[in-house]
Amino acid sequence: MTIVLIVLGAALGAPLRYLTDRAVQARHDSVFPWGTFTVNVSGSFVLGLLAALPAHEGVMAFAGTGFCGALSTYSTFGYETLRLAEDGTRFYAVANAAASIVAGLGAAYCGMAIAQAVTG
Amino acid sequence: MTGRPVDPDVDLHVPRQRSELREGPWGVLAAIAAGGALGALARHGLGSVFPHRPGEFPWAVFWVNVSGCLLIGVLMVLVTETWTAHRLVRPFLGVGVLGGFTTFSTYVVDAQELVNHGAPLVGLAYLAGTLAAALAAVFTGVRVTRLLARPRRGEAAPRIRCGERSEASGE
C-alpha cells in the first residue's frame, strides 16, 4: 500500500513541478530560475507542515515521500546553479544556491510552526 | 548565453521545449508522471535499505541527491549537445526519473530535524556538504560526458550536407 501511495503522490508532484516551472517562466523572463525556486520552497513548506503534525504513515507516503519529494528537486537545482556559473552569471549562481537554501529552511520552519499552532 | 537550456526541467528560451506541451501534452505529462513515480520509488527503496536514526547524518538522501546531480549532468549533455533525442527522453528521464529521485524538501526538513534533535553541527555539515558534493557531481557529469562525447560529435558532423539548414548550425 505504501508503494501505491508513493507512486500516486509522485505521479502528481513531478508533472506539477513541470507545469509550475512553465507557468512561472512564462510570467517572469529572468536569468534567475524562479520556477525551480518556487517548487522547492513550496515543497519544503508542505513537508515541514507534515513532519510536525505528525501525519499518518499513509499520508506521509503519499504527500511527503511521493508528492513533496517529486515536486521538489535537487538535480534541477544543481544543474541550474552550474549552468548559471558556466554562462558567466556567477552572482546568480551563488544567489540561487543561497536563496534556495535559506528560503527552503524558512518555508519548512513556517510549515512546522503552523502545524504546531494548529495541533497545540 | 550559450543557447543551451539553463533549466533541465523545461526552458522556455529553447523553442523545441516551448512548444513540446502544445504538440502532445498528455504524452509529455504521462512520461513525467511515470518517471517521477519510478524516481520516488527508487529514493524510497534506498531510504528503507539505509535508514538513519534521529540526529544521524542522512546518508541515503545525501547520496540520492549527489548521484542524481551527477546523472542530470550526463543526461543534459547527451540530450542537448550530443544526440537528437526523442522528444520524451528529457521529460521522462530528466524531469521525471531524476527530478522524482532527488529531493529538496527532504534535504531541508532533515537538516532542520538534526537541529531540533540537538545536532546543529551535523545539520550544518549536511546542508553545506550536500551542496558542495552535488555541485561537484553535476560539474563532473557535464565535463566528463562532454569529453567522452566529443569524438561522436565529430563523426556526426559530415551528415549535414551543403546548403542544408540544421538545428546545430542555426543556433
pLDDT band at residue A59 under the 50/70/90 scheme: very high
Question: What's the confidence (pLDDT) of residue B152?
Answer: 53
Domain count, chain A: 1
CB B145 within 8 A of CB B74: yes
pLDDT band at residue A54 under the 50/70/90 scheme: confident
Count, residues in chain B: 171
CA separation for the pair B27, B87 (Å, rounded)? 10
Given a cut of 70, whether residue A28 has pLDDT beyond it is yes
DSSP B88: T
Who has greater pLDDT, A34 or B159? A34
CA separation for the pair B8, B35 (Å, rounded)? 15
CB within 8 A of B23, min separation 6: which ones?
B87
Spell out where chain B has E strands.
none
Q: What is the span of the domain harbouring residue A77?
A: 1-119
Who has greater pLDDT, A58 or B160? A58
Angle at the Cα of A34 from the Cα atoms of A31 and A36, rounded to 5 degrees: 115
Mean pLDDT, rounded, for A82-104? 96
Who has greater pLDDT, B162 or B111? B111
pLDDT band at residue A118 under the 50/70/90 scheme: very high
- Contact flag B41-A3 (C-beta cutoff 8 Å): yes
Question: What's the confidence (pLDDT) of residue B74?
Answer: 97
CB B142 within 8 A of CB B77: yes
What pTM, to 2 d.p., does this model score?
A: 0.91
> pLDDT tens for residues B68-101?
999 999 999 999 998 888 999 999 999 999 999 9
Among chain A residues, the shortest Cα distance to B63 is held by A74
Closest CA to B129 of B76, B61, B72: B61
Contacts of A69 in chain B (CB under 8 A): 40, 43, 100, 103, 105-106
CB B88 within 8 A of CB B94: no
Mean pLDDT, rounded, for A38-65? 96
Substitution target from B66, B104, B110, B113 for chain A, most A beta carbons within 10 A = B104
Average model confidence (pLDDT) across chain B: 88
CB B95 within 8 A of CB B35: yes
Percent of chain B clearing pLDDT 90 (strictly above): 78
CA separation for the pair A38, A69 (Å, rounded)? 14
CA separation for the pair B99, B91 (Å, rounded)? 10
